[in-house]
Structure 1
């Protein structure tokens, strides 16, 4: 990779709207991570069936995919701040019901799944609206750093949220839900007071053309198509984290404490990398850096696959998370900057479909392949597949491979997609 650009004196934290947005994101992310731990543990206590744990993911996955395109249309038709606020209020009400039923010992599996489904519906509408807000909160040259800072909130929540939720669960699931609800309430209050400037939306009726406008836009933009599809296939193939219990027990011969370290390592790597990215501008050779980062992700996967010692496996997963954060920041900023404001909701919705599909199917693919050829071979194949995808995408998307800046020139944006495939 090229040498980093100098640390700049300006910071996303100098912009009050971004600071308010960031604290709201921290509160809701911690609340959701704590909620996830409590819901999973509570359902398993009630039923004792592992299958029911899968249902939790299913009832969240279905609305995230089926409602993504309508949610993107809504995000481009109405004030995005209000959409995010409404989504968080719905989630807060669902959590309040969960807390009440748990404290009254009147909760049942079906009721929990229905409420989790309601939260999934709210999040389906909240995600594209929230993603589309970020470019308006900071100057465009600072967007990548703002995305890194924003990503640090999610990574910190992933590391500490489940541990805090598990600790509070000692006092009962109702306690976890109450604390989670308080965090969501804080997020909603911050969001309601956020000063956010959005151009007046251009109202259009909901037709198949407007719903699929994001898909059409992505197909016409080679660089946007390239980064979104690269994420899909790289995550789909490189899903080593889904097999961590197998590696912890059968390869590294460690216990639950070792599994906890393995699960935390990618998030720690991503969090520390987000701190570095927040202090440095990505202003040169962003295309090569992105491809190098995805290749690093694949190489780290290969090292993890062949490792037989805990410290090397932790180092590989740490590097995997760090490389993924670099790629994620570049991809996210590039998509937002190459998309006009009146299309950001619909493009973010399509991106959400790719992200959710790759995460869910990636775990399924890893598990299926591990059952067929073993966990080590499956992970090796995934790492090799990621490197192959990087090579193919560098060939199929030459403008992305040569991309120098996050903010493309008008001539680059108008280049037709037909030349790339």
Structure 2
């Protein structure tokens, strides 16, 4: 197949992409409204951070369980089950909003429940990719997956901004419907080849094998650590509600567009990558994109112009889209089939730490340093991280082509 779009001819890929599209629209809509709602109730950036922390902690606490579940049970059923669980969380948010409650601890509890569903869903869904089509076409599936996800990150926030202006309960209702719609094609999906599953009884050794594999495989450790530290310190997305209100002085609808700016940048880059796939200098490209990601945060943190802030977020997300595609292909290609769920669970903790824990870090930094320096300072640190990883992890810098990557052998 010559282009990424051609893998859509495969029925399993189509079902997977449709499910991801519904789920991602619903999730982005729900998180957009949740961050805005908690900030509107308390007016405190730190509470945005606590929402992020509540979403992250379940992934950390369940890392050994979620990975084992993904490797032991049918990943389609696991994914579908926890998509429905996401919908149930959205129903809880509907009830909160309809009651007119201002008890933010209830939002923290619902965010933790949502994080629990995500923690068990993500390793199973991410581990399905290599089995949807031929191995040689897997990087193209990654492009479609990330492209669909970030396109949804445009639709979800824009829709969330409009629906929030009508009422948060309406927004959460649409989010719930999206999660339920996503479960149907996922459960009915048929693999190109069946995944290898664990058959032995659960043991501590099998549960921690994902951690051990990451630790002894430098390229995997380096790639997912790079994501962790870069996005942990470059986590401006969570602070968009505060930036929109305090720095830019815009309303709900403009906030929705600002929240969608990352999706616009990422979607544009996804389209480019679909027709111009990366072929050479994979590792150096990853490091350069992390540096650009950091530089965009510096601009976003210091500007008071809505237009400049919008463009900065577009650039940040376009760079992140490239790095997401590279990371999303490297980890499965170097991981043995029977460990993929557990390794993805470990990676999920790193991703969650960079996103949800990054939101908490951003909230704390904004409280301590103020919005401009919390965001711009994080961008500077991110650029320094990209430079240091080029030295500390030469195995990343030396990656040239995806075709050169093979599953790592047990040591």
Please tell me the TM-score bracket, short chain as reference: 0.7 to 0.9
* Cα contact 2:28–2:157 (8 A) shared by 1: yes
Question: SS state of the match for residue 11, structure 1?
Answer: helix
Question: SS state of the match for residue 127, structure 2?
Answer: helix
1:322 aligns with 2:310: no
Question: SS state of the match for residue 237, structure 2?
Answer: helix
Alignment of 1:12-411 (within 5 A): 12-36=7-31, 56-95=51-90, 116-168=111-163, 175-196=170-191, 197-244=193-240, 247-248=243-244, 253-256=248-251, 259-307=255-303, 309-410=305-406
Alpha-carbon separation, structure 2, partners of 1:262 and 1:92:
26
Query: Cα gap change, 1:148/1:377 in structure 2, threshold over 3 Å: closer, same or farther?
Result: same
Deviation at 1:95?
4.3
Alpha-carbon separation, structure 2, partners of 1:175 and 1:375:
30
Query: Cα gap change, 1:27/1:306 in structure 2, threshold over 3 Å: closer, same or farther?
Result: closer
Deviation at 1:49?
7.6
Alpha-carbon separation, structure 1, partners of 2:136 and 2:305:
42
TM-score scaled by length of structure 2: 0.85
Query: Cα gap change, 1:324/1:201 in structure 2, threshold over 3 Å: closer, same or farther?
Result: same
Alpha-carbon separation, structure 2, partners of 1:335 and 1:276:
22
Aligned length: 407
Question: SS state of the match for residue 19, structure 2?
Answer: helix
* Cα contact 1:287–1:404 (8 A) shared by 2: yes
Alpha-carbon separation, structure 2, partners of 1:130 and 1:328:
16
Alpha-carbon separation, structure 1, partners of 2:366 and 2:284:
32
Please, which runs of 5 or more residues in structure 2 have no aligned partner? none
Please, which runs of 5 or more residues in structure 1 have no aligned partner? 1-5, 417-421
Alpha-carbon separation, structure 2, partners of 1:37 and 1:66:
25
Question: SS state of the match for residue 123, structure 2?
Answer: helix
Alpha-carbon separation, structure 2, partners of 1:119 and 1:344:
23
* Cα contact 2:60–2:349 (8 A) shared by 1: yes
Query: Cα gap change, 1:396/1:34 in structure 2, threshold over 3 Å: closer, same or farther?
Result: closer
* Cα contact 2:226–2:385 (8 A) shared by 1: yes
Alpha-carbon separation, structure 1, partners of 2:131 and 2:347:
19
Alpha-carbon separation, structure 2, partners of 1:22 and 1:317:
25
Query: Cα gap change, 1:385/1:171 in structure 2, threshold over 3 Å: closer, same or farther?
Result: closer
Moved more, 77-86 or 166-175: 166-175
Alpha-carbon separation, structure 2, partners of 1:344 and 1:291:
24
Moved more, 238-247 or 146-155: 238-247
Residues 2-40 of structure 1: CA distance to partner in whole angstroms, max 9, x if unpaired? xxxx97386221211111111111112222333445656
Residues 226-267 of structure 1: CA distance to partner in whole angstroms, max 9, x if unpaired? 10111111112222334445655665x542365544433222
Query: Cα gap change, 1:162/1:13 in structure 2, threshold over 3 Å: closer, same or farther?
Result: same
Alpha-carbon separation, structure 1, partners of 2:39 and 2:289:
38
Deviation at 1:359?
2.0
TM-score scaled by length of structure 1: 0.84
Query: Cα gap change, 1:225/1:187 in structure 2, threshold over 3 Å: closer, same or farther?
Result: same
Query: Cα gap change, 1:19/1:9 in structure 2, threshold over 3 Å: closer, same or farther?
Result: closer
* Cα contact 1:144–1:282 (8 A) shared by 2: no
Alpha-carbon separation, structure 1, partners of 2:309 and 2:125:
35
Deviation at 1:392?
1.5
- RMSD (Å) for aligned C-alpha atoms: 3.3
